[in-house]
C-alpha cells in the first residue's frame, strides 16, 4: 500500500506539472497578459494535453525510475517523454480544431517548461536525501572517513550517501591537488598522513579504505595509521579480486594479512596456460590439499577435458569434490581415493585416465613432525614421487609438474632433504624418457593447512600467547591463489628438466606477522596478547633460501618466475640410492634411510650441524 501511495503521488505531481507547463507556455507567449479567449483556449485543450502526456509518460517508462536515484538517464527519459508528448499533443489538437487559436510558439515553450518542472523536483529530492545533513540526520549515524578520493572512493561514497547508517565526514588522499575539492559534496580534508588527527578531531567511528590498487607497502602505511587512530577500519577488495569477479566494489571487508604482504599483482600469460590445460586431461595428486585444491579451482575455470583428483584423505577429497560439483556443474571430474606410495593404485589410475598433464602436489610438509618420522617423510615425499614419475612415463604423459619448496635448498631437515631428493630424481629421469619433468620451487603459502597463519589465528582467538620460535626468524610468503597461478604458468613454460623458482619478494619476519595479526584482530601486541619466543624447533632454520649458490639463476619470459640451472647427477647412482631407500623403508630401518638420504643430499649433514649449533645458541639466548 505504501508503494502504491508513493506511485500515485508521483503520477499526481507529474500531471499537475503538465498543467503548470501548459499554462505557463501560454502566459509566456502572451507576456503574462492573457485575454479571456486565450484562457478559454487553455482550459479547452488542457484535457487533451493531460491525457496524451499521461499515456506518453506511461509508455516511456517514466515511473520505473526512483526519485531517490534520479540521474542523467532519468533526465534523458523526461526529455524524451516531453518531446514525444508535444508531438502527440500537436497531432491531437490538429484533429480537434486544426489548432485554431493556439500559437505555434506554445509548442516550443511547453516541452522546455515540462522538462524543468519534472526534472528539478527529482534531482532536488535526490540531493536532499543524499546531502540533507542537518543535525537530526547526523544523530545516531556512524561517522565515516574514506581513505582514497579516486573513482573507487567516489563510488563508495555514492552508496554510503544512500544509507541512513553512515555519515561521511570527508576524504583523505595523497594527491595534494585534491585538497579542498569536493566529491559529491564531501570535502577532501588532506593527505593520508593526517589520518590520526582527523579521526580525533572529527570523532570518526569507522575508516573505510577505498584504494583497490594500493600496493602492499601503501597498505601497510595506511593500516599503521589506522591502528594509531584506534577506530575500526575496513577496506575494499583488491584489484585482482575485482578484475576476476570474485568481489565487487560494494563488498567492504576487514583488512587481511594478505593485504600487507609485499606482493605485486601477478600478470599471467593466459594464452600459454590455456594451451597447456584447456581440452586436456589433467591429473592432480594431493588434490585435496591447500595447493592441490586451489589448482583444482584454477584449472576448472580453464575448461579441461576432464580433471582427475587423486587424494588419500577421504574428507579432503569429498570437500573439494563437492565444491567443484557446485561451482562448475559442466566440469567432468573424477575423485579417486589413493596413496601416491601405492604403485598399483597409481598405475591403475593413470592407465585408466591417461592424463596429458600431471601436477604432483601430494607431500608431507610439517618440518618438526617429519624430523622424528624419517621413514614416513621419505616414503611419501621421495618414494611416492618416484612412483608417480615412473607411472607418468609409462603411460606417455606429456608434462609432469612437481611442486617443491624453498626448504629443499641447503636443507637442514628431513622434510627439505626429501623434497630435494625428489627434485634430483625428476631432473635425472627427464633425460631418459619422453615425459617433460618440471619442478616449481617456492616458499610458504599463507593460510595453508598446518601453516603459521591459522595457528596464530587460533592462539589470538584463545587470548594468547602467540608463539614464535625466534625473534629473527624469517620466511618467504605468498598467497595460495598466487602460488597456484604461478605453478600453472611455470608448467606451461617448461620444456623438461627445469627447476623454476617463484619470485617470493622479500622475506618476512614471523614476529612482524604475529604483531600484525594481533593488531588486525583489534588487540595490541604485548598488552592484550603476549608474543612468546619458544626457540627453534627440530630441523628449523632461521631463514630459508630459494636457490643454491652454485645454481645459475636465469630470467624467463615471466618476471615472477626464475630458472635455476643446477648440476646434473649420475642416474645409476640415483637409482641405486632409490633402491636402497625402498629396502630400508620396507625394513623400517630409519638409520639406514638417514644414511642414504645423506648420500642423495650431501648438504643435509652440514646444515643439520649448523642447525644444532643455532639451536644451542637459542637455548643460551632464552636463558639469558
Query: pLDDT at position 514, please?
Result: 86
Q: Which residue has the higher pLDDT, 296 or 548?
A: 296
CA Rg, the chain, in Å? 35
Structural domain boundaries in the chain: 2-131, 135-255, 270-618
Half-sphere exposure of 470 (CA within 13 A, CB side): 21
Q: What backbone phi and psi angles, to 5 degrees, belong to 310?
A: -115, 115
pLDDT exceeds 80 at position 164: no
As a whole-number percent, the residues of the chain with pLDDT over 90 amount to 29
**Residue range 424-440, pLDDT digits in tens:** 999 999 989 999 999 99
Residue 20 in 3-state DSSP?
Answer: helix
Question: Alpha-carbon distance 2 to 598, whole Å?
Answer: 81
Helix (H) or strand (E) holding 417: helix 414-430
**Residue range 201-236, pLDDT digits in tens:** 888 888 988 887 777 778 888 888 888 888 888 887
CA max distance for the chain: 118
Neighbours of 294 (CB within 10 A): 22
Q: Which residue has the higher pLDDT, 425 or 96?
A: 425
Cis peptide before 548 (omega within 30 of 0): no
Quick one: fold of 270-618?
A: Rossmann fold (3.40.50)
**Polymer length in residues for the chain:** 624
pTM of the full structure: 0.64
The mean pLDDT value for 112-124 works out to: 83
**Residue range 326-378, pLDDT digits in tens:** 999 999 999 999 999 999 999 999 999 999 999 999 999 888 899 989 999 99
**Residue range 39-82, pLDDT digits in tens:** 888 888 888 888 888 888 888 777 655 555 556 677 777 888 88
Q: Which of 104-128 are b and which e, b meaning 16 or more Cβ less than 10 Å from the residue's Cβ? A: eebbebbbbbbbbbbbebbeeebee
Residue 233 in 3-state DSSP?
Answer: strand
Question: If pLDDT is split at 50, 70 and 90, which confidence band does 481 have?
Answer: confident
Query: pLDDT at position 134, please?
Result: 42
Question: Alpha-carbon distance 533 to 516, whole Å?
Answer: 16
**Structure letter (DSSP) for residue 253:** B
Q: Which residue has the higher pLDDT, 32 or 307?
A: 307
Per the DSSP assignment, residues forming a β-bridge with 146 are 171, 208
Cell numbers 590520526 correspond to what residue? 196
Same fold, 135-255 and 270-618: yes
Quick one: fold of 135-255?
A: Rossmann fold (3.40.50)
The mean pLDDT value for 174-196 works out to: 85
User: Do residues 584 and 596 make contact, with C-beta atoms less than 8 angstroms apart?
Assistant: yes
Q: Which of 529, 519, 526, 525 is nearest to 233 (CA)?
A: 519
Q: Which residue has the higher pLDDT, 588 or 560?
A: 588
Q: Which residue has the higher pLDDT, 79 or 164?
A: 79
As a whole-number percent, the residues of the chain with pLDDT over 70 amount to 83
pLDDT exceeds 80 at position 145: yes
Write the DSSP assignment of 299-330 as a string of letters. HHTT--SEEEEEES-HHHHHHHHHHHHHH-TT
C-alpha cell of 530? 603476549
User: Do residues 298 and 515 make contact, with C-beta atoms less than 8 angstroms apart?
Assistant: no
Q: Which residue has the higher pLDDT, 333 or 516?
A: 333
Question: Alpha-carbon distance 303 to 293, whole Å?
Answer: 16
Amino acid at each position: 500500500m505504501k508503494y502504491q501511495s508513493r506511485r500515485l503521488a508521483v503520477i499526481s505531481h507529474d500531471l499537475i506539472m503538465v498543467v503548470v507547463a501548459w499554462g505557463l507556455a501560454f502566459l509566456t507567449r502572451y507576456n503574462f497578459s492573457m485575454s479571456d479567449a486565450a484562457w478559454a483556449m487553455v482550459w479547452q485543450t488542457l484535457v487533451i494535453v493531460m491525457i496524451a502526456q499521461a499515456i506518453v509518460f506511461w509508455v516511456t517508462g517514466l515511473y520505473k525510475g526512483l526519485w531517490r536515484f534520479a540521474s542523467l538517464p532519468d533526465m534523458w527519459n523526461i526529455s524524451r517523454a516531453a518531446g514525444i508528448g508535444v508531438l502527440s499533443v500537436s497531432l491531437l489538437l490538429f484533429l480537434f480544431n486544426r489548432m485554431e487559436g493556439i500559437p505555434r510558439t506554445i509548442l516550443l515553450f511547453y516541452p522546455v517548461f515540462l522538462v524543468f518542472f519534472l526534472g528539478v523536483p527529482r534531482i532536488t529530492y535526490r540531493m536532499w536525501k543524499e546531502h540533507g545533513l542537518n543535525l537530526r540526520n547526523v544523530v545516531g549515524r556512524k561517522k565515516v572517513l574514506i581513505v582514497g578520493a579516486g573513482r573507487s572512493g567516489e563510488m563508495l561514497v555514492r552508496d554510503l550517501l544512500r544509507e541512513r547508517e553512515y555519515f561521511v565526514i570527508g576524504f583523505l588522499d595523497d594527491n595534494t591537488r585534491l585538497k579542498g575539492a569536493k566529491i559529491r559534496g564531501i570535502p577532501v580534508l588532506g593527505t593520508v598522513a593526517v589520518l590520526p588527527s582527523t579521526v580525533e578531531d572529527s570523532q570518526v567511528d569507522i575508516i573505510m579504505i577505498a584504494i583497490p590498487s594500493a600496493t602492499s607497502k601503501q597498505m601497510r602505511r595506511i593500516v599503521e595509521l589506522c591502528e594509531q587512530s584506534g577506530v575500526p577500519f575496513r577496506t575494499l577488495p583488491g584489484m585482482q579480486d575485482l578484475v576476476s569477479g570474485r568481489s565487487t566494489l560494494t563488498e567492504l571487508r576487514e583488512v587481511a594479512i594478505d593485504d600487507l604482504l609485499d606482493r605485486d599483482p601477478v600478470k599471467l600469460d593466459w594464452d600459454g596456460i590455456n594451451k597447456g590445460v584447456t581440452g586436456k586431461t589433467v591429473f592432480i595428486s594431493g588434490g585435496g590439499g591447500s595447493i592441490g585444491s586451489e589448482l583444482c579451482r584454477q584449472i576448472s575455470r580453464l575448461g579441461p577435458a576432464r580433471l582427475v583428483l587423486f587424494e588419500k584423505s577421504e574428507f579432503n577429497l569429498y570437500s573439494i569434490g563437492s565444491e567443484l560439483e557446485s561451482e562448475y556443474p559442466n566440469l567432468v571430474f573424477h575423485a579417486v581415493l589413493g596413496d601416491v606410495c601405492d604403485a598399483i593404485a597409481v598405475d591403475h589410475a593413470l592407465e585408466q585416465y591417461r592424463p596429458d598433464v600431471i601436477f604432483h602436489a601430494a607431500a608431507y610438509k610439517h618440518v618438526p613432525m617429519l624430523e622424528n618420522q624419517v621413514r614416513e617423510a621419505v616414503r611419501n615425499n621421495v618414494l611416492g614421487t618416484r612412483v608417480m614419475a615412473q607411472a607418468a612415463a609409462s603411460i606417455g604423459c606429456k608434462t609432469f609438474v612437481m611442486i617443491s619448496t624453498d626448504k629443499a635448498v641447503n636443507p637442514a631437515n628431513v622434510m627439505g632433504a626429501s623434497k630435494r631428493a625428489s627434485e634430483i630424481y625428476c631432473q635425472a629421469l627427464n633425460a631418459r624418457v619422453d615425459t617433460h619433468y618440471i619442478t616449481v620451487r617456492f616458499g610458504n603459502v599463507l593460510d595453508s593447512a598446518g601453516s603459521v597463519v591459522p595457528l596464530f589465528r587460533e592462539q589470538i582467538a584463545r587470548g594468547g600467547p602467540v608463539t614464535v620460535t625466534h625473534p629473527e626468524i624469517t620466511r618467504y610468503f605468498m598467497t595460495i591463489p598466487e602460488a597456484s597461478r604461478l605453478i600453472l604458468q611455470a608448467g606451461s613454460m617448461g620444456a623438461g628438466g627445469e627447476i623454476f623458482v617463484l619470485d617470493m619478494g622479500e622475506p618476512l619476519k614471523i614476529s612482524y606477522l604475529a604483531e600484525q595479526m594481533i593488531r588486525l584482530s583489534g588487540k595490541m601486541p604485548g598488552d592484550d596478547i603476549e608474543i612468546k619466543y619458544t626457540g627453534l624447533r627440530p630441523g628449523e632454520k632461521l631463514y630459508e633460501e630459494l636457490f643454491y649458490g652454485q645454481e645459475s639463476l636465469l630470467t624467463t619470459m615471466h618476471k615472477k618466475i626464475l630458472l635455476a640451472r643446477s648440476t646434473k647427477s649420475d642416474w645409476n647412482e640415483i637409482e641405486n640410492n632409490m633402491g636402497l631407500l625402498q629396502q630400508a623403508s620396507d625394513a623400517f630401518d630409519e638409520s639406514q634411510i638417514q644414511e642414504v638420504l645423506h648420500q642423495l643430499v650431501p648438504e643435509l649433514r652440514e646444515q643439520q650441524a649448523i642447525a644444532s649449533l643455532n639451536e644451542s645458541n637459542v637455548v643460551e639466548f632464552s636463558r639469558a
